[in-house]
Structure 1
Amino acid sequence: MKIAVVGVGVAGGYLLSRLKKDHDVVGFERMTEENHDSICAWGTSANEMRGLCAKSGINFDDFIIHHGKDMHIDMNNNERFDIKLKGLVTFDKIGLIKKMAEGVKIHYGVVPKLEELEKEFDLIVDCTGFHRSYLPKIKKDFFLPTYQYKIQYDGKVPIDDFFVKPFSGMTGYFWYFPLNENMAHIGAGDYKKNHIVETDKFFEKYGGKVTKTVGRPIRLATPNMCEPFYHGKVVGVGESIGTVYPLLGEGIIPSMICADIFVRNMHDLPKYREEVLQYFAIYGKVLNFIRAKMNGNFSAIRSIVDLISIFRYMKKNEQRFGMEIHMRDLMKVAKA
């Protein structure tokens, strides 16, 4: 088949790597090549990424920047605790995407019209993330604005490992992800739009030189809210159909898993839809939990069944999340 993959982020790059051997694949990316970057703080679980990248003949370890040991959590109520990490790393995301796309023609700085793509390609894969450029508009979307700096410090980074500060009511969180001995990503996403203020507070406290600024909304609407997944020649993969884990705002691994589901079912799109809804069903429960917190009507008693389901899902998938999962930590977040 002749396939256009529009949006060369992690989902699009991974798809190019999976499809290029058997199909005539072309990539399109709205950013110019020199400005190609990501709002994502480049954090992921090496355990899961090794297996996913191996399907494309890529050694993920070649792209790891920092191996995490502990994630420092500041609950904004004078309670602080650490979560033991089990494979959480920061990695060279853009370098990995370029490796994935090797040998494929990429048109940078271009977002072609749908009519033009339909004339030339058998299939158009919408990996444009939040923009969802070629699929019908979502009726009830839900997203957070986000903002991030890449900081270079004169000496060593101010915090030795991952640091996260959830905002009151779970409206979002501030993140600090070390990249190497003197560089880090700092940023935040917040439903109440205090993300820039919180990022700048940290920057003013610890200083450093801003080398890159990026910002865009991140979709937290889950797949059950993001239909249709396909329309005409267009099929969505990744964040365009809601594959971001709402509790963490993490979409790298989920989007790659979604791409795997697509590759298995690209000739049977109803089956693709079915598998996506089944695999990501837990995401809807997670989002309901978060929205109840945001709206101020959360009750641990009323939500205990969903909380147990979320805990069991994350506990079962500790290696995938790259951290130890304990009910006590989830309850701290739920009660804050």
Structure 2
Amino acid sequence: MKIAIVGAGISGAYLAKLLGQEGLYPDVYDAGAQDTLCGYRSCGWGAPIGIEKYLAEVDLDLNEYLIEPMFSMNFDGLEAKTPLCTINKPRLLRDLNAGIRLKRQKLGQEEADSYDVLVDATGITRALLPPCRSDLTLPTLQHRVAVSSEGDVRLGAGVYGNRIPGLGYLWIFPVGNGQYHIGIGGIGLVHHESLMERFYRESSDQFSFRPLCRCTGVVRVASPYYSTPLSLTQRRKGKTQAVIGVGESIGTVSPFTGEGIVYSLECAGILADSWPDQEEYGNLVLARFGWMKKERETLDYLLGQGRNGGPRLRDRWRFYKNARRSGIDLPVLEAFKRMGSLSRWVDAPD
């Protein structure tokens, strides 16, 4: 079986490692560095400590990539314990790419026709599969910032929905040496830069900020259910060829938070375990990430008929379940009270 994976990001490179353990050695195509200072797609570098078990599957050690645990975080003024951390994602990607058959080039059509299976691991581009049946994307802006305290208080990690109008949030993740990823993402949001500047101004009595670089990005928050087809079968030059999506290309990103590193690893694991059964793989992905469908439907409601009334009880419960799924220790009553504040900012003007 001749296999090509297009995209050497988290899901594509990890899948190549897993298939290699089974004696399958795909060619991995990736044209090269992104137009960012680190050379990779815009990302906050946040992940749960639970990523450790996925890395161990390919003989990698989380301690080699761990930048800083985020034992507590601020969520719109509510402090909560978390199992989250920041990781050196560029280094992780370099190590995932090591030892695989990586081709730093685009996959041309003539070459593509020679493969039995093509894996679409191109993320937001979804280069090999047809468009999602109902796509939803989250534009982002992120700065890497050197932060100095004006006193004894250190800037803490946090996620703030109350600072962003509409369906969006601002994140603050430490990335070592007094530097942070500070970013903004929002559905339909267009004033990223002015919102970032407002945050800097409002925080200037405690901290000084020196931006080191900036990058923009887009995250697919459609959910796998609304990102179908997850795979297809086609005829190429007289033979049958399978095209299978993995990771963000098929929406394995939390619609509420934009978190996708671990879910992309998990999705790649599901594909490796069910290889090459497309039907089994699709069923397993839809079952495992069914909660993403519910989160997506909450976003659709808040963008549509719920715009004036704010979140329903089921929506508040889904926000709470998202936090618990990530291991964030939010007290139920206080969390529900804070989630009620969504009704204030869903209607906020741009």
TM-based fold match above 0.5? yes
Q: Do the aligned partners of 1:142 and 1:221 also contact (CA within 8 Å) in 2?
A: yes
Q: Do the aligned partners of 1:145 and 1:195 also contact (CA within 8 Å) in 2?
A: no
Aligned with 2:39 (options 20, 23, 36): 36
> How far, CA to CA, are the matches of 1:330 and 1:238 in structure 2?
31
Aligned with 1:175 (options 168, 171, 187): 171
Counterparts in 2 of 1:309 and 1:171: CA distance versus 1, 3 Å = closer
What's the counterpart of residue 106 of structure 2? Answer: 111
| Structure holding more helix per residue | 1
| CA distances 1:205-257 after superposition (whole Å, capped 9, x unpaired) | 45544333221211110111111111232110011101111111101111111
Aligned with 2:139 (options 145, 155, 168): 145
| Structure 2 residue matching 1:8: 3-state secondary structure | coil
Aligned with 1:71 (options 51, 70, 73): 73
What's the counterpart of residue 15 of structure 1? Answer: 15
Q: Do the aligned partners of 1:118 and 1:124 also contact (CA within 8 Å) in 2?
A: no
Unaligned 5+ segments in structure 1 are: 75-79
Q: Does 1:285 align with 2:263?
A: no
| Structure 1 residue matching 2:92: 3-state secondary structure | helix
> How far, CA to CA, are the matches of 1:211 and 1:26 in structure 2?
36
What's the counterpart of residue 297 of structure 1? Answer: 306
What's the counterpart of residue 239 of structure 2? Answer: none
> How far, CA to CA, are the matches of 2:270 and 2:337 in structure 1?
32
Amino acid at match of 2:84: L
What's the counterpart of residue 335 of structure 1? Answer: 341
| CA distances 1:74-102 after superposition (whole Å, capped 9, x unpaired) | 3xxxxx221222x2100001111111221
What's the counterpart of residue 134 of structure 1? Answer: 128
Q: Do the aligned partners of 2:81 and 2:329 also contact (CA within 8 Å) in 1?
A: yes
Amino acid at match of 1:107: K
What's the counterpart of residue 187 of structure 1? Answer: 183
Counterparts in 2 of 1:299 and 1:326: CA distance versus 1, 3 Å = farther
**How many residues align structurally?**
323
| Structure 2 residue matching 1:138: 3-state secondary structure | coil
**1:195 CA drift (Å):** 2.5
Amino acid at match of 1:38: R
Q: Do the aligned partners of 1:170 and 1:293 also contact (CA within 8 Å) in 2?
A: no
> How far, CA to CA, are the matches of 2:127 and 2:283 in structure 1?
23
Q: Do the aligned partners of 2:141 and 2:217 also contact (CA within 8 Å) in 1?
A: yes
| Structure 2 residue matching 1:20: 3-state secondary structure | helix
Unaligned 5+ segments in structure 2 are: 234-241, 343-350
Q: Does 1:228 align with 2:222?
A: no
Q: Do the aligned partners of 1:166 and 1:173 also contact (CA within 8 Å) in 2?
A: yes
Q: Do the aligned partners of 1:44 and 1:322 also contact (CA within 8 Å) in 2?
A: no
| CA distances 1:131-177 after superposition (whole Å, capped 9, x unpaired) | 10000112321111111112234679984331222155651111110
- What CA RMSD, in Å, does the superposition of the two structures yield over aligned residues? 2.7
Counterparts in 2 of 1:69 and 1:170: CA distance versus 1, 3 Å = farther
**1:17 CA drift (Å):** 1.9
Q: Do the aligned partners of 1:13 and 1:98 also contact (CA within 8 Å) in 2?
A: no
Aligned with 1:323 (options 305, 320, 328): 328
Taking structure 2 as the reference length, the TM-score comes to 0.83
Q: Does 1:163 align with 2:158?
A: yes
Counterparts in 2 of 1:330 and 1:54: CA distance versus 1, 3 Å = farther
| Structure 2 residue matching 1:67: 3-state secondary structure | strand
Taking structure 1 as the reference length, the TM-score comes to 0.86
What's the counterpart of residue 262 of structure 1? Answer: 271
Counterparts in 2 of 1:311 and 1:207: CA distance versus 1, 3 Å = closer
Counterparts in 2 of 1:334 and 1:234: CA distance versus 1, 3 Å = farther
Q: Does 1:4 align with 2:4?
A: yes
| CA distances 1:285-308 after superposition (whole Å, capped 9, x unpaired) | 112223323336169898434544
Counterparts in 2 of 1:265 and 1:99: CA distance versus 1, 3 Å = same
Q: Do the aligned partners of 2:41 and 2:217 also contact (CA within 8 Å) in 1?
A: no
> How far, CA to CA, are the matches of 2:251 and 2:62 in structure 1?
25
**1:259 CA drift (Å):** 0.7
> How far, CA to CA, are the matches of 1:71 and 1:208 in structure 2?
20
**1:118 CA drift (Å):** 2.5
Q: Does 1:276 align with 2:285?
A: yes
> How far, CA to CA, are the matches of 1:201 and 1:111 in structure 2?
41
Q: Do the aligned partners of 2:148 and 2:208 also contact (CA within 8 Å) in 1?
A: no
> How far, CA to CA, are the matches of 2:299 and 2:197 in structure 1?
25
Amino acid at match of 2:192: H
> How far, CA to CA, are the matches of 2:321 and 2:327 in structure 1?
15
